[in-house]
Structure 1
Amino acid sequence: MIDHTGIGVEDVPSSAAFYDAVLGALGMYRVMELREGDRLDGVGYGIDHPVFWIDRYHPHSVKQHTAFAAKSRAEVEAFYAKALSAGGTDNGVPGLRPTSTGYPLGYYAAFVLDPDGNNIEAVYRESQEQPSQDTLASVFQMVTYRPPSGTADPLLLLTDSALASLKASVARVQYPAELCQQQTPEEWREHVPAIDQQNSGLLGSVADRSGVYVILTAEDPASQWTLKYIGQSKADLSRQRIRSHLVWRNKDTPSGSFTGSKFDEVSRAVMEGKHIGFSFVSIEPASLRHYVEVELIHRFQPAWNSHGRSVDSQEPSADLCEWPRIERIGAGGL
């Protein structure tokens, strides 16, 4: 059992500001400082006693890896957000890691590089979620459902209602103007903290909500939106999943290489000068959510829902649904 550990850093005050924010998200704070006169030589973080040190006595920039225990998925996500806003570099978005690469079941983690290039991680270990009997029964009823002869199908009424809500609440995703001139993912990556900040309200509005969402594009703010993608997500993954579409997906990490993210399509559209629209509607239970998603995909066949095909090989879909012009969208967004 390890009592405490630590790493060397080049600039203790600068790194301390970073770790104040990052470890604060996990309930840790400065409990001890080492000083020589006015110079700060080391900082110990913990709760009752130091369990993690940063100091100038040990070699720095040696790419060490330290994993911090989180008490929930929310703490992992807060750790990741604080790290990026404090100057860290994304090294793996929050999410469950695949067992196919050696991770245990229920390993929910996020990875960030600190100012010295160290790989720091927050991990929440949870048991694998199993569908409840109520959910299974609901899915079975969905499969076997047939509306009475001569009556309106309530499932189609639900789908139409969801569609109306999506069309009425399109929000424009905000991106720095410079992105229209960028050409590579590396250049885009430099703007990720700014994109997160500009869209914090949008991403916060979908956190902990289960539902169906759409991604749209427009040539200019006064044009009609063109439907490009339809998806759905459960509450505990909504913010992470939608962020992977709209903000950033790191393909070099396990989570980034095992995802259905539409980041490539979205980033290409933005760099071509297009505007990105987003809309979300809450739907429970999961069986109804899946039904609405599949029904809408069958109706409109959006181009980015062509699973297993690269964006270069996708054929444009027919614009089968007239979405509102940007000036008709309420200021409240979602």
Structure 2
Amino acid sequence: VMSNGRYSVMVTATGSGYSRWGDLSVTRWQPDPTEDRLGSYIFLRDAGSGDWWSATAEPKRAAEEKAQTLFSDDKASFVKSVGTLRSEVECIVISEGNGEGRRVTLYNDGPSDRHIEVTSFAELVLGLEASDNAHPAFSKMFVETEISANNAAIFATRRKRETSEPDIAMVHFVTDPSGSARDAEAETDRRAFIGRGRTIVDAAAFDPGARLGGHSGFTLDPVASLRRQVRIRGPVEIVSDAEADAYYATRPRGSRIGAWASKQSRPLESRFALEKAVAEYTARYPIGEIPRPKHWSGFRIVPSTIEFWHDRPFRLHDRLVFTRSAKDGWDKTRLYP
């Protein structure tokens, strides 16, 4: 639990949890001994392959992922590796003010550009937890949402039923250090985001070609969700031996055997030759550790150009490119779609 005395955030080791302002719940959460599917989440989707997963261990896992959670005095950090993409989400509570922040950092350890969609999601309460638990459908009826003109922020308030009820309003927004907010996608209707008869792990918002619909107002099941796509491109540098060793050790045993057997991208006379090499190295390393081959390493893209792309109807897309300048800053350019 992190708190400044007024605003508090509880996060579990798997990334679920809730936010509160005093006695009022900002977001919805209930403990579940079998599933962790309620909380404030960050989802990542590869725009090329369509694969998607949560940046925390739950609620959406990926094949052969590696997840780590670190709790310190001032923040909670969630690190996750899926293939050549590493992500880190740092969660903090603002010391002066009533709010929280989640910083998302992406590392592309592969040799090619990656187009990644970053999507946030949280179910809104903005009221007493007891009232929400007693009659959630009724409680949701009084939350009103509004989306900013460029879809970069969501505003939410609760209509009071009695004058004695406290006033509460919240804003959920996305920004980055390279410049002012740019166009994104937004959604505040849970049914539109997840879909009828579905759950958060197979949400309609991540179907191929799906976009956030931008519903707002009294949606009867309010959420706060923003999405932005990022492309990272830059020169490639080889990682250090220590980094290569650390990553190699996380690979499945069969993949480490394959690293010895495969002379990657070189001509191969037959499939039999590859399978024979795999058998030879399997016999050489039947048990214990498998050392990293000297020819096996990794690469890191050093960002020099980052493009933010936002889908628009009739292919009139928004494209903004940020190029690193000589003064270690970023120059902004808008491109035709």
What TM-score results when the alignment is normalised by the length of structure 1?
Answer: 0.24
Which structure has more strand as a fraction of its residues? 2
Which structure has more helix as a fraction of its residues? 1
What TM-score results when the alignment is normalised by the length of structure 2?
Answer: 0.24
